[in-house]
Amino acid sequence: MKKLLLSFVILMSAAISGFSQDGATAPDPKAPKIEFQTLDIDFGTIKQGSDPFRTVKFTNTGKTPLIITTCQGSCGCTVPTCPTEPTMPGEKGEMQVRYDTNRLGAFTKTVTVMSNAGNGTITLKIHGTVEAAETGLPTKTGGPTAQ
């Protein structure tokens, strides 16, 4: 009886897997499509406390309205602000990305943008280096001066 039951389970598994699809579906030709001007946001070398904002531009190259549902930084020091209104087909839009420029040193972070676009979730990379700001105070150069 166990052999018969096992044979039946194997036969049914084979039949089900034979009829299943591979999961690939054709992309919707009417779906919105988001295309960013760049996926790499380079802050360059900046001074501590300097302008923390960069603007990222994108275009909806699809055939229906683009709705950005979520944009999220990889940590609390990276804060994106996404548009709340739909971007119509052919229209350009922009989002702001803020990095905490009081954190010294090199940085590489990401911003993940989720939308109804047919091309899926997009990840933007932000990077740069924050140098210490000038204090305006004279610096010490060493030992006593000779007279």
Q: Which residue has the higher pLDDT, 13 or 131?
A: 131
Pick from 118, 112, 95, 110: which is nearest to 34 by CA?
118
| Angle CA 68–82–45, to nearest 5 | 130
- pLDDT number for residue 120: 86
Can you give the pTM of this predicted structure? 0.71
Q: How many CB atoms lie within 10 A of CB 89?
A: 16
Domains of the chain (ranges, CATH numbers): 34-131 (2.60.40.10)
Residue 125 has pLDDT above 50, yes or no: yes
